[in-house]
Structure 1
Amino acid sequence: MRIIRFRKHEKKAVLAAVTDEDHIYSLPYKDFLEMVKDADREQVRPIERVWQILRETEPLAVTLEQLDLLVPIEAPEVWAAGVTYERSKEARNYESTGGKLDTTTFYDKVYEAERPELFLKSTAARTIGPNQPVCLRSDSNWQIPEPELGMVIDQNGRILGYTIGNDMSSRDIEGENPLYLPQAKVWRNSCAIGPAIRLAESVQDPYDFEIVCRIFRNGQLAIEGAANTRQLKRKLPELVSYLTRDNVVFDGTVLLTGTCIVPPNEFTLQDGDRIEIEISGIGMLHNPVQAQAPVEQQAG
């Protein structure tokens, strides 16, 4: 069972449930968290509350492709985990050493360490949804998408569902100095999530999500890569436990779990590219790539 948000003709945001058969049902809630809280009041799991509603509701006569999809949850914060896959460790080592892969770095150390790398990636104002443009950082010459499984959690660390995330990254800025990590990760429209939230109770094995990333240039497929969450070095509850440790975590926080798909080292995104990130059972997140507006236009 997936939960989506879409915009109706009168610009009102509507919450809806999507079955595995792609039947779409409106839900009587303003957002995802209201639905979860209603289920908690009824002392049932969110998926049980949704099915109670669906049994008394007719599906909409539309398809997902016909909907103006919105970000499925306006997450107050999006956090991210780094170096959780071996491929990510290799990529970070390459960019920080100039390709000297036989050099041991702090990325090797954090990959093996007890404590994971966690960082604040985005806020609601910086996060976009399906079909909205992710932006290129104007002072970077080496930028890539990072396709990731995201967990939607509450303030107590309960995993409510799973979504798709694009953790845009400036490889040259992070590679120049690890202290530049916030600038390499956080800027306008540098994070996309969507198109849906797969309810946690409907996921049999979160370590068997197939992840595919495709990048199109001039209408042609330029880059394609695939991975599986079974390749994760760390367990998902482990990442959540470190995020919630001595921290204030808000209901609806999204925690991205790291990437295992990294384009070739000579590749960088360009204005006009299009990114597709697909995760089995969740859907496909589409985003065009757009250069930042000149500084004088941003100020105006």
Structure 2
Amino acid sequence: MRIIRFLQDQKAVLAAVSDDEKVFVLPHNDLLELVKVADDKGVTPLEVVQVMIADQLPIATSLGELELLVPIEAPEVWAAGVTYEKSKEARNYEATGGKLDATTFYDKVYDAKRPEIFFKSTLARTKGPDQEVYIRTDSNWQIPEPELGLIINHKGKVIGYTAGNDMSSRDIEGENPLYLPQAKIWKHSCSIGPAVRLAETVIDPYSFEITCRIYRDNEQVFEGKASTGQLKRKFDELVSYLVKDNEIFDGTVLLTGTCIVPPNEFTLADGDLIEIEISDIGILKNPVKSQVNKAISTSK
């Protein structure tokens, strides 16, 4: 069972999506409200949804025709880095100016007990399905980072899973590790969606298949595939470090790292389209916009 939000008559509507793609409207404002109802009753969110839709007909509009919003308005988005071997190799390449098989402090992070966790986005900066993500104006090497996102409550309990795009400036991060916040955080630099897969409906969270496709001028220029089974670290390990001595808010998203990296000579361009597909969750699509071109068009 997946949970979505869509726009209808200028209002956000919460809905459940069955595995056969039928959409059922729910009488709640957001996922957190649904979770609270379940907690108060001592049942799972899935059980609450099943009771709500038992005697309800699905809406006539198909899932593909809905104007989807971010599935949850996350107060904060955090991210974990160097959690896959491919990510470690890419970071080493950046940090050494393009040396193959180089070793750096990223190897130490990969093998260390403490994971790398950094702040990624706020509610205002986080975009949803079909909304534009931006290219940073002072970077010449930008890529998407397709990642599985954990939706957690203030205690660190995983409520559900979603797809996330951790936009990254490889040249800025590679220049100096202290530049990481600038390489990760800017306007429209993060997106999540299109749905939240309820945690209790996932048998094995390490079996999610992740695919990233990039299109330019209506032609596919990149495709990469990975699985959460390739993760070096476990989800509870990442969450435990995030919540340790920290104040975490209900609905926080923790992106768990990427194992899909485009070729080193590739960089995103204005007009590209990014698709991040995660099995049993859906496809997160975001067009790419250059802020330089946006500023020019606005001034005309």
Bin for the TM-score computed over the shorter chain: over 0.9
**What secondary structure sits across from 1:70 in the alignment?**
coil
**What secondary structure sits across from 1:120 in the alignment?**
strand
Structure 2 CA distance for aligned equivalents of residues 103 and 216 of structure 1? 31
Between 217-226 and 99-108, the greater mean CA deviation after superposition: 99-108
**For residue 113 of structure 1, what is the aligned residue in structure 2?**
112
**What secondary structure sits across from 2:5 in the alignment?**
strand
**What is the Cα deviation at residue 99 of structure 1?**
2.1
**What secondary structure sits across from 1:69 in the alignment?**
coil
**What is the Cα deviation at residue 271 of structure 1?**
0.2
**For residue 81 of structure 1, what is the aligned residue in structure 2?**
80
For structure 2, the residue ranges without an aligned partner over 5 or more in a row are none
Task: Report the residue type matching 2:286 in the other structure.
Answer: N
> Does 2:207 align with 1:208?
yes
**What secondary structure sits across from 1:195 in the alignment?**
strand
**For residue 3 of structure 1, what is the aligned residue in structure 2?**
3
Task: Report the residue type matching 1:170 in the other structure.
Answer: S
**For residue 231 of structure 1, what is the aligned residue in structure 2?**
230
Structure 2 CA distance for aligned equivalents of residues 298 and 36 of structure 1? 42
Is this contact kept in 1: 2:93–2:102, CA < 8 A?
no
Structure 1 CA distance for aligned equivalents of residues 295 and 103 of structure 2? 39
> Does 2:137 align with 1:138?
yes
Task: Report the residue type matching 1:54 in the other structure.
Answer: I
1:19-48, Cα deviation, whole Å (9 max, x unpaired): 000010000000110010011111100111
Is this contact kept in 1: 2:89–2:101, CA < 8 A?
no
**For residue 36 of structure 1, what is the aligned residue in structure 2?**
35
1:204-228, Cα deviation, whole Å (9 max, x unpaired): 1000000000000000000000000
Structure 2 CA distance for aligned equivalents of residues 108 and 86 of structure 1? 9
Shift in CA distance, 298/150, structure 1 to aligned 2, threshold 3 Å: farther
**What secondary structure sits across from 1:163 in the alignment?**
strand
Shift in CA distance, 71/100, structure 1 to aligned 2, threshold 3 Å: same
Structure 1 CA distance for aligned equivalents of residues 147 and 223 of structure 2? 15
**What is the Cα deviation at residue 103 of structure 1?**
3.5
For structure 1, the residue ranges without an aligned partner over 5 or more in a row are none
Tell me the TM-score normalized by structure 2.
Answer: 0.97
Task: Report the residue type matching 1:80 in the other structure.
Answer: A
> Does 2:45 align with 1:46?
yes
**What is the Cα deviation at residue 58 of structure 1?**
1.3
**What secondary structure sits across from 1:98 in the alignment?**
coil
Alignment of 1:144-183 (within 5 A): 144-183=143-182
Is this contact kept in 1: 2:109–2:116, CA < 8 A?
yes
Tell me the TM-score normalized by structure 1.
Answer: 0.97
1:259-287, Cα deviation, whole Å (9 max, x unpaired): 00000000000000000000000000000
Structure 2 CA distance for aligned equivalents of residues 140 and 261 of structure 1? 20
Task: Report the residue type matching 2:204 in the other structure.
Answer: D
**What is the Cα deviation at residue 101 of structure 1?**
3.4
Structure 1 CA distance for aligned equivalents of residues 160 and 179 of structure 2? 31
**What is the Cα deviation at residue 295 of structure 1?**
6.5
Structure 2 CA distance for aligned equivalents of residues 14 and 231 of structure 1? 36
Structure 1 CA distance for aligned equivalents of residues 61 and 87 of structure 2? 39
Between 285-294 and 239-248, the greater mean CA deviation after superposition: 285-294
**What is the Cα deviation at residue 298 of structure 1?**
9.0
Structure 1 CA distance for aligned equivalents of residues 132 and 296 of structure 2? 20
**For residue 193 of structure 1, what is the aligned residue in structure 2?**
192
1:76-128, Cα deviation, whole Å (9 max, x unpaired): 00000000000000000001001223432110000000000000000000000
Structure 2 CA distance for aligned equivalents of residues 79 and 285 of structure 1? 18
